[in-house]
Amino acid sequence: MIITLSLNPAVDKTIEIRDFKVDGVNRVTSARLDAGGKGINVSRMISRLGGQSKAIGVLAGASGSFIKQQLASLGIENDFLFVEGETRTNIKIVDPVNGLNTDINENGPDIGVQDLEEIFNRTIGTSESGSILVLAGSVPGNVSKTIYKQLIAAAANKGIKTILDADGELFRLGIEAGPYMIKPNIHELSIHFKQEIASKEEAIALAKGLFVYGIKVIVISLGSDGAILMTEDTTIMAEGLSVEVISTVGAGDAMVAAFAYSLERGDALEEALRLAVAASAASVMTPGTSPGELAVIEDLKKKVTLKYIK
């Protein structure tokens, strides 16, 4: 079973504004609402790939009900805890004329101590050994940045593999518990090492030092330049695919979803990497946070070129 955790989900409102102007009047040409949050995006892509997952997390208010209803309509199993307040709304402004994507993200509701204990039980206590737990995205402001570290340690004790996709303190502390897989993008890696990373070779050299924590697989997403997959013994680079970009929101989540799906199936790392790059590329071809179409993903997967790095 693949479990995705969303402690700070959102309703994603994507609006298209052609030639967006700061400090001026802008006209919306299209708008859409999607259930959002990195964990939820991962569950949606897993479903698109033909897999199954359980989405767990915290919801609140009418926006939370909207998210739960949308997941149910997609046939995605979910077990969300409702709390006081209102699930946040994140606004994504897409400007196709200038090729710009602007995010305006709200803060989510606080989570109480008892609520967190219940979330631990739903993610760890009820999960079987061999499950895969995806920890992705931000957490509410009142939640300790050690939360992912705690979950990773608890999961390891129960034989659950974890995939960590976070940034800042959540990433820094989380890797100390030795998750099975991490997926920083090049920008997040730069922040972690507190230096500008100028090349893929530099990224690889720096990332190798993270294996000391017991991490088994490191995936560095490079946006339009593809991705790098690393184990202690192997480094594989996947070249990026040239596609029409409509919205970059959720591209990294699609990559995580493909890896979780492939890991559960027992696919070879090379196959997982091809699928991940294809799923990510297909997602940027769709509006909002909607996952790429399966037929497009399968077609793009055939075009992914891999290169082994010594």
What is the distance between the alpha carbons of residues 294 and 121, in angstroms, rounded to a whole number?
34
Q: Is 253 a catalytic residue?
A: yes
What is the distance between the alpha carbons of residues 105 and 103, in angstroms, rounded to a whole number?
6
Partnered with residue 245 across adjacent β-strands are none
Catalytic position from the list 225, 253, 267, 299: 253
Q: Report yes or no: 4 and 76 within 8 Å, Cβ to Cβ.
A: no
Question: Cα separations (Å) of 88 from 12, 64, 122?
Answer: 9, 9, 22
Query: In 124-204, which ranges are E strands?
Result: 132-136, 161-165, 181-182
Return the number of other C-beta atoms located less than 10 Å from residue 245's C-beta: 15
Letter string b/e over residues 265-301, b meaning 16 or more CB atoms within 10 A of that residue's CB:
eebebbebbbbbbbbbbbbbbbbbbbbbeeebbeebb
Q: Report yes or no: 224 and 240 within 8 Å, Cβ to Cβ.
A: yes
Partnered with residue 188 across adjacent β-strands are none
Partnered with residue 31 across adjacent β-strands are 15
Residues involved in catalysis: 253
